[in-house]
Structure 1
Amino acid sequence: MLSTMQDGQLSLGRLLRHGTTVHSESEVITWTGSEARRETYGELGKHAAKLANALRSLGITGDQRVGTFMWNNAEHMAAYLAIPAMGAVLHTLNIRLFPEQLVFVANHAEDQVVIVDGTLVPLLAKQLPELKTVRHVIVANGDASTLPAPDGVQVHSYDELLAGQPDTFDWPEVDERSAAAMCYTSGTTGDPKGVAYSHRSIWLHSMQVTMTDSMRLAQHDKALAIVPMFHAMAWGMPYAALMVGASLLMPDRFLQPAPIAQMLDAEKPTFAGAVPTIWQGLLSHLDANPQDISHLREVVVGGSAAPPSLMHAFEDRYNVPILHAWGMTETSPLGSVARPPVSATGEKAWDYRYTQGRFPASVSARLIGDNGEELPWDNESVGELEVQGPWIAASYYGGKAGDEPDPEKFHDGWLRTGDVGKISPDGYLTLTDRAKDVIKSGGEWISSVDLENQVMAHPAVAEAAVVGIPDEKWDERPLVAVVLKEGQSVTAEELREFLSDKVAKWQLPENWTFVDEVPKTSVGKFDKKRLRAFHSEGKLDVSQL
């Protein structure tokens, strides 16, 4: 092999040493409800060392899984660093999973230790006796005595456990291809599936987030990480921030519009990331309680597409640009970001911003048609998106049975995303739907996402979700579930008329229902499976026009 270059491991231990020394004055800031508690990255390095020593004392000596059942805060950030850097595997447990799913993922991953925030103890306590491999629970930011210990499980106070530990740790040399962290999918179509990220994949993904045309995090930034640290590794923001020295603002459990607005006012972050439902709620709050948020140079939205009306509202009324991003647990998660090309200005730039974005160099993409053929990037041909790259999963974690690729999700070394869309010649992805959510009516396809965006453009509508329901004549027709803004009113007839010049006549929905809230998944996406179930069970009051 012709090369004159050194070969160093891209490990999270290396990233920890770098970020907590070179960027020792940057901060992780945890919101407490009315003010912030602050910890510099230098202090965070010592904090992580104490945690690593404590975990060693509990028998974590190899690649055992250590679960976190936590909000976004400094203690969770210390776990993000200490657990993988010491050679163990961080497993971020989704606090919003259904109880049976939480039990499944903890047992499937074989978690041996769980770190839990005090306010979440009541949630964990109900399932703890069913967690077969957990031997230790560490209670942070709360009273450990409030958690009853099942037989064979020891409960520890986080502060007391760390109090006597050294603030240095001999971080081992870890193989960059070994597992560093695990996330499980939200399990909307069956048991959640485990994805084990390697040190190398996290490192390369962090470089994408910071150094390419993606989030563009830099040392001068203060990033508000609203996206949960249990949701696809908070989109890579914690590690990316450490890499470049950006400070992190952690909201802990204060995720409602009013406290988020208070955080924005007090800390003036320059960057933020969260799912669209968070920004919809914040927009309503700001419209009722105006404040200057122009310190936000950019907001990244992922998890599901942001309605164009939401993007325009933030830019026009608050001078804050919203940037679309696409990804999934299996892609670490960022797969594309909708930053327009330099040549695009005005309305042309908006056309690009409505897409899910352009793929970076390390992500290869292709579209596969109904007959298995690869489709061209012509911004017209629609097929299922498949992706490949160094931070994209090649299989799911199979536990003791191994990691055999699931043919429903992996195809000749490519990840089948389940997303349907088109790609432009210059590499911009536009998703029209999830494969399971596309509505087939009279042999023609209707995009539920397009209909949702058009309905949510109405000034009286807060949220709208569209699903296909059975129809004797057309096979399927769209059903629109609408949540109205507080104090607003509009009829189904008026909404249908509002759509009449925006979509083809045959796509106009006849079926409408008004609901207090659209059901959502554990990560804040519209739960269309539950919405379809509500309809089939007769739980929705449907008007047919």
Structure 2
Amino acid sequence: MEGLMMQQPLLVASLLMHAERHHGTQEIVSRRVEGDIHRYRYRDLAQRARRMANALAGLGIGKGERVGTLAWNGYRHMELYFAVSGSGSVLHTLNPRLHVDQLAYIIEHAQDRVVFFDLTFLPLIESVAPRVKSPKVFVAMTDRAHMPQVHGLSVELMCYEDLIDLHDDVFDWPLLDENSASSLCYTSGTTGNPKGVLYSHRSTVLHTYGAALPDSLNCSARDVILPVVPMFHVNAWGLPYIACMVGAKLVFPGPALDGRSLYELIEAEQVTLSAGVPTVWQGLLTHADATGGTFSSMRHTVIGGAPCPTAMTAAFQQRHRVDVLHAWGMTELSPVGTVCSFKTAQLSLPMTDQYAVQAKQGRALFGVDMKIVDANGAELPWDGNVAGDLLVRGHWVTRQYFGNDDTSPLRDGWFPTGDVAKIDPDGFMQITDRSKDVIKSGGEWISSTDIENIAYLHPDVTAAVCIAARHPKWDERPLLLIVKKPDSELTGVELLDFIDGRIAKWWKPDAVIFVESVPLGATGKVLKHQLREQFGNHYLSA
């Protein structure tokens, strides 16, 4: 016997319709590329999204066709999130931090029909346009007064606000198949060409439910959410959709992501929740420490994209009374897979033990399952000690990459993440390394992440990266690369003495190299492969 319940498809547009109907007066604040602050409400967002949906139809953009965006976090980008996906086309967020060759490859591979861009990225557009055939129209996301003077661009350049003004807001969001594509995001492509992950309306809405839960990102209508994580990278970890679902106030930072700009925006708008990668938060903490700033409204921050050092967690929680939610995910997971939210048992632990738990990437959201396996594919126990390859499956996990219809990355229905991890009996997962970054010394594994976390505990360390360097006797040994604070007189011997006794003796790096900076990829992750190329022969040449 079938259940007697209504059947309504899970569609991206339904999130906007809910926000307009039930949270229409809630505010959206954006720091614009033009330099000013823009304010409007969810009902304005919905009205302008319908206008833009009509504009897309006027440009001949059909269902399933890709629409590219090259934009910061702002209200116009938010409008495109719903105008494109809601009308049945596919929102393709482009990462401006990628090399121009990779951008051109992605635009061509996706066959984008039109590309919308913030004025900041005009030089990128001028470089990319001659290299691609697919987009015939580029739209500058600004008004007529700020339209740039462009010479030699072989494609049509249009004005975003002109498109809005030319169309009315009468538009009925179509009743789409919930399994149809809604948005497209490519992996950062640190090695090889980037791969496209094609999300569906169903997977996006389910991810929104899962990520908003109390033990996930814990969002509500009482929140003021600042997505520092970019909207061009896995949909800002779902926060724009979550805000619509729960009715939270949104604050968009635009291009200014330095510590001072973020701090001023957080305080001015009374932000309660923000999310970003560790490199951004280090800038915010440095600014707060230098100025004696405190956070009057922030209650928690979500840190992901790279392992969160314990020192950063302690700085937020001890000095600023801001709880840290350590999260993990990937483009292929839409992206949130786990969040380190305590169970009751962890609340009674001593503070040092709580920090040890918070160093883990956390527990799986409902909708995601995970396991660790050995080299033969046999499942390993959740004892918190044994590490293995991390596999996942779930409602918002990809099953194959866009344009690769003949191949699937899955292993017996599970997606191989490329991470090496261990899981404790309470279900807390901890990534010990990327499989390609694990150090194998004398036949035994060493976790570069554990070494980095300990180095970060030293007060003079601002960045720590541990890589595998080739060794004549042990095959590989850990080599520690350190960016120290300005004017610090820290020496390698002093740092190694600091590390001594905190990890197994044979894990201790044999050398420390001080560097001015470490290379970061398009999503803020450290590019370890570049550092291995530069320093991988250090022990052989010593």
TM-score w.r.t. the length of structure 1 is 0.95
Q: Which residue of 1 aligns with 2:396?
A: 391
Q: Which residue of 1 aligns with 2:431?
A: 431
**Cα contact 1:125–1:148 (8 A) shared by 2:** no
Q: Which residue of 1 aligns with 2:365?
A: 360
**Cα contact 2:55–2:164 (8 A) shared by 1:** yes
TM-superposed CA distance for 1:213, in Å, is: 1.4
Q: How does 1:290-305 map to 2 (within 5 A)?
A: 290-305=292-307
Pick the aligned partner of 1:369 from 352, 364, 374: 374
Coordinate RMSD, CA, aligned: 1.7
Q: Partner amino acid for 2:454?
A: Q
Q: Partner amino acid for 1:233?
A: N
Q: How does 1:49-68 map to 2 (within 5 A)?
A: 49-68=50-69
Q: Partner amino acid for 1:169?
A: F
Distance (whole Å) between structure 2 residues aligned to residue 214 and residue 543 of structure 1: 48
TM-superposed CA distance for 1:403, in Å, is: 2.4
Secondary structure in structure 2 of the residue aligned to 1:411: coil
Name structure 2 gaps, 5 residues minimum: none
* Cα gap change, 1:256 to 1:184, in 2 (>3 Å): same
Q: Which residue of 1 aligns with 2:355?
A: 350
Q: How does 1:123-522 map to 2 (within 5 A)?
A: 123-141=124-142, 143-148=146-151, 150-151=153-154, 153-345=155-347, 346-347=349-350, 348-398=353-403, 402-406=404-408, 409-522=409-522
1:379-435 deviations in Å (ceiling 9; x for gaps): 12210000000100011111xxx42344xx421111100110111122110110100
TM-superposed CA distance for 1:503, in Å, is: 1.3
Q: Partner amino acid for 2:453?
A: N
TM-superposed CA distance for 1:98, in Å, is: 0.8
TM-superposed CA distance for 1:370, in Å, is: 1.6
Secondary structure in structure 1 of the residue aligned to 2:399: coil
**Cα contact 2:471–2:540 (8 A) shared by 1:** no
Distance (whole Å) between structure 2 residues aligned to residue 41 and residue 527 of structure 1: 39
Distance (whole Å) between structure 1 residues aligned to residue 126 and residue 252 of structure 2: 25
Distance (whole Å) between structure 1 residues aligned to residue 189 and residue 19 of structure 2: 34
Distance (whole Å) between structure 2 residues aligned to residue 426 and residue 233 of structure 1: 30
**Cα contact 1:512–1:543 (8 A) shared by 2:** no
Name structure 1 gaps, 5 residues minimum: none
Number of residue pairs matched? 536
TM-superposed CA distance for 1:469, in Å, is: 1.1
TM-superposed CA distance for 1:511, in Å, is: 2.6
**Cα contact 1:226–1:273 (8 A) shared by 2:** yes
Q: Structure 1 stretch 34-43 or stretch 93-102: which is displaced more?
A: 34-43
**Quick check: 1:111 aligned with 2:115?**
no
Secondary structure in structure 2 of the residue aligned to 1:410: coil
Q: Which residue of 2 aligns with 1:36?
A: 37
Q: Partner amino acid for 1:15?
A: L
**Cα contact 1:294–1:319 (8 A) shared by 2:** no
Distance (whole Å) between structure 2 residues aligned to residue 482 and residue 427 of structure 1: 33
**Cα contact 1:138–1:144 (8 A) shared by 2:** no
Secondary structure in structure 1 of the residue aligned to 2:197: strand
**Cα contact 2:472–2:540 (8 A) shared by 1:** no
Distance (whole Å) between structure 2 residues aligned to residue 505 and residue 188 of structure 1: 33
Q: Partner amino acid for 2:340?
A: A
TM-superposed CA distance for 1:543, in Å, is: 10
**Quick check: 1:75 aligned with 2:76?**
yes
TM-superposed CA distance for 1:541, in Å, is: 12
Q: Which residue of 1 aligns with 2:19?
A: 19
Distance (whole Å) between structure 2 residues aligned to residue 318 and residue 14 of structure 1: 38
Distance (whole Å) between structure 1 residues aligned to residue 486 and residue 283 of structure 2: 11
Q: Partner amino acid for 1:273?
A: A
Distance (whole Å) between structure 2 residues aligned to residue 141 and residue 304 of structure 1: 33
TM-superposed CA distance for 1:504, in Å, is: 1.4
* Cα gap change, 1:280 to 1:503, in 2 (>3 Å): same
Q: Which residue of 2 aligns with 1:525?
A: 525
Q: Partner amino acid for 2:110?
A: A
TM-superposed CA distance for 1:248, in Å, is: 1.0
Secondary structure in structure 1 of the residue aligned to 2:21: helix
TM-score w.r.t. the length of structure 2 is 0.96
